[in-house]
């Protein structure tokens, strides 16, 4: 009877990791947005693709300005309100009156909110201006996904992408796990386990996640501090949940990473996700050495 040395378990150890930091989108410039009434919008049909105004939703910060340009050969209006649901308030926020071809209309928005508008001449033409409140405190971490890392399984067949929000006291942390094959296609019926630990406390534990479309969203418990959070994703195999015996793919590969919050400056919010270890473990062993 042969026995394998522990060393053989580690022979397959492969490490393919990239570390990417992305800039939080909240710092994008939303001071000015240009909206077009494209050629042909005077003919019904553009409403089916929500393209009568382009873009149909203009997103802007408080104090920002939206400028509409009539790029069509017909005259249009940019008139606030919703004719169908609230006809009495049409035009109370803004109204360009008739805009001939090539003409522009601008409006500065001083209050946060959602402002639907339409064209009086062609009422199927609808758009909306979304005015975002300014951030109260630039050091307050947002709950959007702000970190990104990916790692390839030891056999090169499963790419694991992990996005998360920044750990912050009293906030839940969102963790988004995406599984794709070597060609970037979503892996159907992925089974995996995911845990998250902070300060030695387990804040997330999902032992048997199954995602039909290779993509899972998870939310931790509310965190007790701003300390780094260790995330561990274990690939359990590919297949239907009740057919574990037939699962294929890399079984037992573990992706471990740590999300480290940074504070103080905007630049430091360009975050900081580090791959601590990616360890290939054979199917015979689910015991993961901790480095």
The tally of CA atoms less than 13 A away on the side-chain side of residue 162 is 35
Cα dihedral value 162, 167, 170, 176, nearest 10: -10
Instruction: Say which residues have a Cβ less than 8 Å from residue 92's Cβ, sequence separation at least 6.
Output: 80, 81
Residue 72 beta carbon to Cu ion: minimum distance, rounded to whole angstroms: 7
43 or 248, CB closer to Cu ion? 43
Residue 45 beta carbon to Cu ion: minimum distance, rounded to whole angstroms: 13
- Of 86-94, 116-124, 258-266, 279-287, which segment contacts Cu ion by CB under 5 A? 116-124
Per CB under 5 A, the list member of 35, 66, 119, 187 interacting with Cu ion is: 119
Residue 97 beta carbon to Cu ion: minimum distance, rounded to whole angstroms: 12
Count of residues touching Cu ion (by CB under 5 A): 5
Give yes or no for residue 121 binding Cu ion (CB under 5 A).
yes
Task: Kindly state the tokens that stand for 149.
Answer: 């890392």
7 or 87, CB closer to Cu ion? 87
∠ CA 39-44-46 to the nearest 5 degrees?
60
Rounded distance between C-alpha atoms, residue 132 and residue 64, angstroms: 9
Q: What are phi and psi of 54, to 5 degrees?
A: -130, 110
Interaction mask 61-100, Cu ion, x per CB under 5 A = ---------------x------------------------
104 or 208, CB closer to Cu ion? 104
121 or 270, CB closer to Cu ion? 121
Answer whether 159's CB lies under 8 Å from 150's CB.
yes
126 or 251, CB closer to Cu ion? 126
Residue 52 beta carbon to Cu ion: minimum distance, rounded to whole angstroms: 8
Residue 208 beta carbon to Cu ion: minimum distance, rounded to whole angstroms: 54
Residue 39 beta carbon to Cu ion: minimum distance, rounded to whole angstroms: 12
122 or 251, CB closer to Cu ion? 122
Task: Kindly state the tokens that stand for 206.
Answer: 């999902």
Asked if residue 207 has a cis previous peptide bond (ω within 30° of 0), the answer is: no
The candidate with the shortest Cα–Cα distance to 159, out of 84, 75, 248, 233, is 233
Give yes or no for residue 251 binding Cu ion (CB under 5 A).
no
Rounded distance between C-alpha atoms, residue 123 and residue 93, angstroms: 17
Residue 59 beta carbon to Cu ion: minimum distance, rounded to whole angstroms: 22
In the complex, the residues that contact Cu ion under the rule CB under 5 A are 76, 119, 121-122, 125
């Amino acid at each position: 009877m042969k026995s394998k040395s522990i060393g053989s378990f580690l022979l397959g150890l492969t490490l393919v990791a990239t570390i990417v930091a992305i800039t939080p989108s909240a710092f994008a410039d939303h001071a000015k947005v240009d909206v077009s009434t494209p050629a042909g919008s005077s003919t019904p049909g553009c409403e089916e693709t929500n393209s009568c105004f382009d873009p149909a939703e203009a997103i802007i910060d408080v104090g920002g300005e939206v400028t509409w340009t009539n790029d069509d050969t017909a005259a249009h209006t940019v008139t606030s309100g919703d004719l169908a649901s609230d006809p009495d308030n049409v035009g109370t926020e803004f109204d360009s009156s008739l805009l001939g071809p090539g003409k522009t209309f601008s409006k500065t928005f001083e209050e946060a909110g959602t402002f639907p508008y339409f064209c009086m001449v062609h009422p199927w033409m609808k758009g909306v201006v979304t005015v975002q409140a300014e951030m109260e405190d630039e050091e307050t971490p947002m709950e959007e996904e702000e970190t990104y890392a990916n790692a390839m399984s030891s056999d090169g067949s499963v790419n694991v992408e992990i996005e998360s929000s920044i750990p912050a006291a009293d906030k839940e942390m969102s963790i988004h796990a995406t599984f794709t094959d070597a060609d970037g296609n979503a892996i159907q019926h992925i089974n995996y386990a995911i845990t998250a630990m902070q300060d030695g406390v387990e804040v997330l534990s999902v032992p048997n996640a199954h995602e039909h479309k290779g993509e899972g969203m998870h939310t931790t418990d509310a965190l007790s501090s701003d300390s780094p959070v260790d995330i561990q994703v274990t690939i359990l195999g590919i297949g239907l949940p009740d057919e574990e015996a037939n699962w294929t793919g890399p079984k037992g590969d573990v992706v471990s990473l740590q999300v480290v919050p940074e504070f103080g400056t905007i630049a430091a919010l360009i975050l900081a996700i580090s791959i601590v270890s990616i360890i290939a473990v054979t199917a015979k062993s689910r015991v993961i050495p901790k480095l």
